[in-house]
Amino acid sequence: MKLLSHDLHTLSGAYAVDALDPAEREKFERHMNRCQECSHEVRGLQATATGLAMSAAQVPPPELKRRVLTAAARTRQLPPVSEHRAVVQRRRPQWMPRLAVAVGAAGMAVVIALGITLARTQNELDSARAQQHALAAVLNSPGATMLSARTTLGGSATIVVSRQLREVIFTSEGLPALPGKKVYQLWLMAPHHIVSAGLLPQPANGRMPPVLASGLLAGDKIGVTVEPAGGTAQPTTSPIVVIPTAS
């Protein structure tokens, strides 16, 4: 559908309440970048929508707080966007060829790029680029190794381990979307101690954006289980895949 500039402008309301489909949203964002009047209007309407949001407040489940704070303590933060852009521009040509040498033609580059292609808005794109940067750091670290294994639900899981950074990238291909409210949960498994590394994104068409987990210790295995919505503190089902990080 061909949209004239005037038509685009009147999408400001639908944009502010996230009521555009991805193609239109992208088109509107491009337009807004050039149209100061539009971006001013959108900000006012987004602030208005915040009123609708705040009026729906509810008391959250008490256990949510501990889960969020624990997850935060384990989660690496994104660097500010301006610095990061410059770094990515400079680094990209360097790490792409090195990646090919380090981990072979196993499609990891495609996986990393997937994070970018799944991004739909500028914010998501910024976030995806920053994540790409963090992933590149793991891939670039000396001695980074890649390991793959089949899962019991079909498809394969792949990890890239950096012992130096104590980080691991997890991704999968061909995992089925889970029925009902189940989620995939990632674990760092030591012989007598298992810690959650967070919930995995739902696979879309068998693909899953890569996930970065920190705090890896020597001898940890990486495991994935299927858990009820929101995840659990410890695994409650048998892992669908376990990959040792040391050979």
Partner 1 sequence: MEGMGIPDRGASPLVRDSGSGDDRADLESLLAHVARGDQAAFEVVYDRMAGPVFGLICKVVRDPAQSEEVAQEVLLEVWRSASRFDPSRGSATTWIMMIAHRRAVDRVRSATAETLRNERSAAAAMPAVPDEVAETVETNLDRERVRRCLDALTDTQRESITLAYYGGYTYREVSGLLNVALGTIKTRIRDGLIRMRDCMGVTW
Residues that bind partner 1 (CB under 8 A): 10-14, 16-21, 40, 43-61, 64-65, 67-69, 71-73, 75-81, 121, 123, 126-127, 130, 177-178, 181, 183, 199, 202, 204, 228-231
C-beta of 43 vs 150, nearer to partner 1:
43
| Residue number, 85 or 163, with CB nearest to partner 1 | 85
What is the per-residue DSSP string for 2-36? Answer: ---HHHHHTTHHHHHTT-S-HHHHHHHHHHHHH-H
Query: What's the rounded Cα separation, in Å, for the pair 89 and 112?
Result: 16
State the nearest-atom distance from the C-beta of 79 to partner 1, in Å: 6
Contact (CB, 8 A) for 85 and 127: no
CB of 199 to partner 1, least distance (A): 7
Phi, psi of 82 (to 5 degrees): -65, -50
User: For partner 1, which is the closer residue by CB, 74 or 91?
Assistant: 74
Report the residue number, 57 or 105, with the smaller CB distance to partner 1.
Answer: 57
Helices 122-140 and 81-103 sit at what angle, rounded to 10 degrees?
40
Least Å distance between CB 181 and partner 1?
Answer: 5
Q: How far apart are CA 235 and CA 223, in angstroms?
A: 10
What stretches of the chain show up as alpha helix (H) in DSSP?
A: 5-9, 12-16, 22-34, 36-54, 62-73, 81-103, 108-118, 122-140
Nearer to partner 1, 58 or 247 (CB): 58
CB of 144 to partner 1, least distance (A): 22
Choice between 75 and 148, CB closer to partner 1: 75
Buried b (16+ CB within 10 A) or exposed e, 149-181: eebeeebebbbbbbbebbbbbbbbbbbeebeee
Quote the least distance from Cβ 112 to partner 1, whole Å: 18
Q: Shortest gap between Cβ of 13 and partner 1 (angstroms)?
A: 3
